[in-house]
Amino acid sequence: MKKTDLERALDEALPDEKILSDVKRLLEYNAENGVTEIELNEKWVPIPIDVPIDIVSKAFLKEYYEGVGFGAYRVLVAIGGFKKDRYGFHEAGYCFATLYYNDQGDNFTEDYHVKFR
Amino acid identity, position 97: A
Q: In the prediction, which pLDDT does 109 show?
A: 92
Q: In the prediction, which pLDDT does 87 show?
A: 80
What domain range is 9 assigned to? Answer: 3-113
Task: Count up the domains in the chain and report the number.
Answer: 1
> Over 80: is that where the pLDDT of 96 sits?
yes
- Chain segment 31-90, per-residue pLDDT in tens: 999 999 999 999 999 999 999 999 999 999 887 887 776 778 999 999 999 998 778 788
d(CA 27, CA 1): 37
Mean pLDDT of all residues in the chain?
A: 92
